[in-house]
Each structure stands twice: as structure tokens, then as C-alpha cells.
Amino acid sequence: MMVLHLVLLGDSVFDNQAYVATGRAVIDHVRAGLPGGAQATLLAVDGDVTTDVARQMRHLPADATHLALSVGGNDALGALPALQAPSSSVLQALDVLAALQSTFRHNYRDALLTLAEAGLPCVVCTVYDAVPGLTPALRTALSVYNDVITREALRLGLPVLDLREWLTEPTDYSSQSPIEPSDAGGYKIARALLDWSHP
């Protein structure tokens, strides 16, 4: 019988230990909810972007059985200078968004293809958008990235864990850095991952 070994890849949505103070990180909540004999490995790295996923995959444990990917938030953060640049029209601003989306689509597609090479069940996460203080304009820009995530996952037949529907309360976000999951938010993410990996 296969023994579950869930591997978390991506960014600080999973690698959030630095932002929960005395609370539990996502990986701690996952491990606490695993059935006997199962294990979980954290390969996600705080600050990593989509193009870093291939490097993370090089450390994939030989006995891994399930993969979970949450990446894209730092890609969006890196686009802030372009988003804050002046524009002469709405159409010109949309051209900027289209170019950012095209770059992200290329990088995200490559990341998913790298995961697919492992031949293991995989779930991907959207980027949550109920971050305290996030403006409506930035939430709209973030939807451009989430559109890529959902479309590329659908193209490969991968299930999507929509974190926009899970992390909806201010308490789901860290008081140390509001763009990171809190202990409470991490618990919600872990529960969703556990429900997917061993329903």
C-alpha cells in the first residue's frame, strides 16, 4: 500500500514559518493532520518565484507521492513598478497587464510541465486576494495572474485549490507581514491540502 508523502513547492504561502511567531507554519499544520506513517516535505522557499520551481524539483524526495504548488505572488510583487508607472489611457495600461501576463504564463507553464514530469498527483493554488490593505486596483491586477494559474492547470487537467475562497478573513493573514498566512490561515491551507491528498 502506498504511504502518503506530500511535497509542498513554491513560495512563502507554504514556507511561512518566519511570519507566524509562536504559531504553527503551514508545514506544521500539514504534518499534524497526516495519518500514521505519512509524511510531508517542504521544498517551497520564502521569496521564490515561478522560475525557481525547477530548482526546487531537483530536491524532490524519491518516495514523494503527491505534489502541491503555490507560487505566483512574488511574480506579481515584482510587477509593482510596472503597475505603478504612469499611463496615458486605460488601453495602454491594459497593454502593460497583457505583457506581464504573457511573461507569467510562459514561466508558470514551464513550472507545471516540470511538475508533470514527475508523474505524480499534483494540486495548484491560486494567489489569495483578501490581503488586508490590498487596493481594488491591485486585486484586479492579481486576477490576471490567477487567470493564468487556473487556465494552465485546466490545460493539464490539474485540480486547483482556490485560496481566494479559503483565506477570506483578516485573521488569516500575518500581523508581521499582511501578505503572508497567519497561523489561522496556515491551518486553513493545510486542511485543504490534506482533504485533497487523502480524502
Q: Give me the tens of pLDDT residue by residue for the chain, a chain 199 residues long.
A: 689 999 999 999 999 999 998 889 999 999 999 998 999 999 999 999 999 999 999 999 999 999 999 999 999 999 988 888 888 899 998 999 999 999 999 999 999 999 999 999 999 999 999 999 999 999 999 999 999 999 999 999 999 999 999 999 999 999 999 999 999 999 999 999 999 998 6
pLDDT at 21: 84
The model's pTM is 0.95
Task: Render 64-104 in DSSP notation, one character per residue.
Answer: --EEEEE--HHHHHHTHHHHHS--SSHHHHHHHHHHHHHHH
Each residue of 102-129: pLDDT tens digit? 999 999 999 999 999 999 999 999 999 9
* DSSP 8-state code for residue 176: S
Count of other CB atoms within 10 angstroms of residue 32? 12
- On whether the CB atoms of residues 54 and 75 are closer than 8 A, the answer is no
